[in-house]
């Protein structure tokens, strides 16, 4: 069993450091990229630093340029974040644009249509987006706080799994209820069922409301206990947060 210090050292490598604010602009994004580079250099996190920097698709090209000499991935949100409320053709155009500038796409599926039992639409939506992303890491945001029930979360997970997504992500972080212990446990169990049947792993991203190291460790332990040591790596587990300083006290 790892102690909390060991978990803390691991967690920095799982973080998708996030800036998704209405005040963001080219200068603020450049500044945050430089801030990450400075921390990486000063603290010598050469082998274990944040997995990605996640921002709006508009700034993907800036992040890619600013972080090109690091191993930090460029991640962008797409699908008309955070609501997912747009015609699918418009969402597709944003994803196509995003794929030109980012390594990873965090996509908001059509939550309203899902809650209206339009499962065939969601199935097609995910299939189309998966085909567009191809060699990009695709994280589907299912907004567990709005799905509310365990049954809905399970149905959403099954649709994601069917369409070969790379990660199932809990939340946008823009709703009253974001990541919860219960939601993460439910997602992890569905991923486990799939893995036991197919031997194909799918990642899990916990996002929204994670403001301290204790919360982060709790989510890591749930994933580790449910899915095993294999998932304790940035290839299969991420934590989305804009509170890097509060979680790790490094800024």
34-81 pLDDT tens trace? 988 888 776 665 567 899 999 999 999 999 999 998 999 999 999 999
Nearest to 203 by CA among 51, 23, 36: 51
Contact 134, 96 (CB under 8 A): no
**Pairwise CA distance, residues 89 & 157, whole Å:** 23
Residue of 40, 106, 155, 166 with catalytic role: 106
Tally the C-alpha atoms within 13 A of residue 27's C-alpha that lie toward its C-beta.
1
pLDDT of amino acid 211: 87
Percent of the chain beyond pLDDT 70?
Answer: 94
Question: Which residues in the chain show pLDDT less than 50?
Answer: 250-251
pLDDT of amino acid 114: 98
Concerning whether 106 is annotated as a catalytic residue, the answer is yes
Nearest to 248 by CA among 211, 223, 222, 219: 211
H helices of the chain, in order, are 4-11, 26-43, 60-66, 88-99, 111-115, 119-133, 144-147, 150-162, 181-198, 213-227, 244-248
Q: Extract long-range pairs of 229-237: CB within 8 Å, 24+ residues apart.
A: 230/201, 231/201, 231/203, 231/204, 232/10, 233/13, 234/13, 234/14, 234/51, 235/203, 236/201, 236/202, 236/203, 236/204, 237/14, 237/203, 237/204, 237/205
Contact 58, 37 (CB under 8 A): no
What's the CATH number where 226 sits?
Answer: 3.20.20.70
**What is the domain count for the chain?**
1
**Residue 116: in which H helix or E strand, if any?**
none
Nearest to 169 by CA among 199, 195, 137, 194: 137
pLDDT digits (tens, 9 = 90+) for 190-199: 999 999 999 9
**Pairwise CA distance, residues 122 & 120, whole Å:** 5
Which domain covers residue 10, as residue numbers?
4-248
Concerning whether 16 is annotated as a catalytic residue, the answer is no
**Pairwise CA distance, residues 138 & 168, whole Å:** 9
Residue of 32, 40, 139, 169 with catalytic role: 169
pLDDT of amino acid 8: 82
Concerning whether 73 is annotated as a catalytic residue, the answer is no
Nearest to 205 by CA among 117, 129, 125, 108: 108
* φ/ψ of residue 74, rounded to 5: -95, 120
Q: In the chain, what's the furthest Cα-to-Cα distance?
A: 51
């Amino acid at each position: 069993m790892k102690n909390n210090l060991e978990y803390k050292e691991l967690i920095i490598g799982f973080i998708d450091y996030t800036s998704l604010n209405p005040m963001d602009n080219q200068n603020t994004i450049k500044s945050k990229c430089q801030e990450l580079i400075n921390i990486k250099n000063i603290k010598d996190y050469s082998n274990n630093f944040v997995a990605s920097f996640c921002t709006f698709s508009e700034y993907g090209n800036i992040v890619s340029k600013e972080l090109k000499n690091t191993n930090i991935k460029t991640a962008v949100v797409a699908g008309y974040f955070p609501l997912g409320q747009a015609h699918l053709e418009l969402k597709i155009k944003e994803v196509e644009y995003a794929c030109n500038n980012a390594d990873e796409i965090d996509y908001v599926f059509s939550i309203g249509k899902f809650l209206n039992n339009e499962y065939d639409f969601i199935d097609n939506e995910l299939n189309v987006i998966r085909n567009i992303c191809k060699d990009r890491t695709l994280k589907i945001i299912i907004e567990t706080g709005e799905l509310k029930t365990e049954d809905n979360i399970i149905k959403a997970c099954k649709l994601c799994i069917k369409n070969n997504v790379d990660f199932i992500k809990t939340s946008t972080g823009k709703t009253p209820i974001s990541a919860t212990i219960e939601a993460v446990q439910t997602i992890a169990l569905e991923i486990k069922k799939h893995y036991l049947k197919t031997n194909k792993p799918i990642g899990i991203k916990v996002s929204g409301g994670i403001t301290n190291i204790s919360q982060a460790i709790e989510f890591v332990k749930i994933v580790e206990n449910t899915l095993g040591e294999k998932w304790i790596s940035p290839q299969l587990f991420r934590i989305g947060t804009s509170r890097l300083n509060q979680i790790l006290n490094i800024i």
